[in-house]
């Protein structure tokens, strides 16, 4: 019988040194040709995909954005955000070459030698706004996740030009700039669905005052059924806009159920999901939904999400327009940076973060 974990890394400190301290990440483990998964990545039984119900015939909505002013499009977006918390958009305003360029740049960055990528790790990066890492919160997780990432928090073009890696800087900036147009369209529609018809500067800043882009790399895995690419969680953003490659592996929890639905890759599409911040601001009308990524035994996979957030210093709570007519708030006002810190303080644990803001 094959061993259940990889022999070279029985010692956790050797694994942490290789994966984290030396900057090899799980990509380095994958490229060693391990025949079995290191035990530190073996997830509890209840977190493995083999234990969940997959609803093969279901699909999240796919919405054509070629006419964003069409009332039917607005209605479809608001319904998708309320019922599913997830939808895909096609015929949007982000050019396909911009999407292809950022995918190529993601492969280019992760193809760099470990010592180059490691310059951007928590220990070595010159800024908290640029972070190369692995898993989610390794120091707080019971089992590690099979993923490496580069996280880029946008402050200004000047800072990005000075600090972001050359391998992907221009492509990510272009992807963010082009996506901003679509994000503004979506937020305008979603606010209309809440009868908030005016998005002034203050409200725009509250909805999308800060942006972070992650380049995610999921290398092929020796025992994908024993681990996860990303564990069950909902995002803490207002909205997340996700570019995925053609491999697939993203699963979304069906609202109020135990079934999971695969989000199939569609060339040129973008996946949109509601984050906790929008669930709180909409007083629960729009739902942020649990999602997860499976590991893959045959292919490397990449994805590039942009997380659109309030600013760290913003107080978030149900929008005043929603509660002025006597609607009962179900969330309190919380400092957004406190909410985010709470999320990162623990391993991925489904939808538990939202309890931090509940009344």
Q: For 280-323, write each residue's pLDDT tens digit.
A: 999 999 999 998 999 999 999 999 999 999 999 999 999 999 98
Give the total number of structural domains in the chain: 1
User: What is the token pair recorded at 346?
Assistant: 């623990």
Q: For 18-68, write each residue's pLDDT tens digit.
A: 888 888 989 998 998 888 888 888 887 776 766 567 676 678 999 999 999
Model's pTM, two decimal places? 0.92
Q: Is residue 344, in this structure, part of any structural domain at all?
A: yes
Q: Is the pLDDT of residue 3 over 70?
A: no
Query: Comparing C-alpha atoms, which of 150, 179, 130, 135 is closest to residue 20?
Result: 135
Q: Is residue 191, in this structure, part of any structural domain at all?
A: yes
Tell me the pairing of strands 130-134 and 291-293. Answer: unpaired
Q: How far apart are CA 113 and CA 167, in angstroms?
A: 12
**For the chain, how many residues are written?**
359
The Cα-based distances of 342 to 186, 280, 310 in angstroms read 27, 15, 16
Q: Is residue 272, in this structure, part of any structural domain at all?
A: yes
Q: For 171-208, write each residue's pLDDT tens digit.
A: 999 999 999 999 999 999 999 999 998 889 999 999 99
Q: Are 333 and 280 in contact (CB under 8 A)?
A: no
Q: How far apart are CA 84 and CA 253, in angstroms?
A: 9
Q: Is residue 13, in this structure, part of any structural domain at all?
A: no
Mean pLDDT of the chain: 89
Please give the residue range of the domain that contains residue 314: 24-31+54-357
Q: Is residue 46, in this structure, part of any structural domain at all?
A: no
- Domain CATH code at residue 85: 2.60.120.330
Q: Is residue 268, in this structure, part of any structural domain at all?
A: yes
Q: Is residue 42, in this structure, part of any structural domain at all?
A: no
Concatenating the DSSP letter of every residue in 269-283 gives -EEEEE-HHHHHHTT
Q: Is residue 331, in this structure, part of any structural domain at all?
A: yes
Q: Are 233 and 137 in contact (CB under 8 A)?
A: no
Residue 122: is it exposed, middle or buried by C-beta count within 10 angstroms (0-12/13-18/19+)? Answer: exposed
Query: Comparing C-alpha atoms, which of 184, 50, 168, 31 is closest to residue 101?
Result: 168
Q: Is the pLDDT of residue 12 over 90?
A: no
pLDDT score at 4? 42
160: helix, coil or strand? helix
Q: What is the band of 255 on the pLDDT scale with cuts at 50, 70, 90?
A: confident
């Amino acid at each position: 019988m094959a061993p259940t974990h990889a022999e070279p890394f029985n010692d956790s400190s050797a694994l942490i040194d290789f994966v984290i301290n030396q900057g090899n990440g799980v990509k380095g483990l994958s490229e060693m040709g391990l025949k079995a998964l290191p035990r530190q990545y073996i997830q509890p039984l209840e977190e493995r995909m083999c234990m969940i119900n997959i609803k093969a015939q279901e699909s999240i909505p796919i919405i054509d954005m070629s006419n964003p002013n069409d009332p039917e499009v607005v209605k479809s977006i608001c319904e998708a955000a309320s019922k599913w918390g997830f939808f895909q958009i096609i015929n949007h305003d982000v050019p396909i070459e911009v999407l292809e360029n950022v995918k190529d740049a993601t492969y280019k960055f992760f193809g760099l030698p470990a010592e180059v990528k490691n310059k951007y790790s928590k220990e070595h990066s010159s800024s908290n706004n640029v972070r190369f890492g692995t898993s989610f919160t390794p120091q707080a997780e019971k089992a590690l996740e099979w993923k490496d990432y580069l996280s880029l928090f946008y402050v200004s073009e000047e800072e990005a030009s000075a600090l972001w890696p050359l391998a992907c800087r221009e492509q990510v900036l272009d992807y963010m700039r082009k996506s901003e147009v679509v994000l503004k369209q979506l937020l305008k529609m979603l606010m209309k669905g809440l009868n908030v018809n005016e998005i002034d500067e203050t409200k725009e800043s509250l909805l999308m005052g800060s942006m972070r882009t992650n380049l995610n790399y999921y290398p092929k895995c020796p025992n994908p059924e024993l681990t996860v690419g990303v564990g069950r969680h909902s995002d803490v953003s207002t909205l997340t806009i996700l570019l995925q490659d053609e491999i697939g592996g993203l699963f979304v929890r069906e609202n109020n159920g135990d079934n999971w639905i695969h989000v199939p890759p569609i060339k040129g599409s973008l996946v949109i999901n509601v984050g906790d911040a929008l669930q709180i601001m909409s007083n629960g009308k729009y739902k942020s939904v649990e999602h997860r990524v499976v590991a893959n035994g045959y292919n490397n996979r990449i994805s590039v999400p942009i997380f659109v957030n309030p600013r760290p210093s913003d107080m978030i709570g149900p929008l005043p327009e929603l509660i002025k007519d006597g609607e009962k708030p179900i969330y309190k006002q919380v400092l957004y940076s406190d909410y985010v810190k709470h999320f990162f303080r623990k391993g991925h644990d489904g939808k538990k973060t939202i309890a931090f803001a509940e009344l």
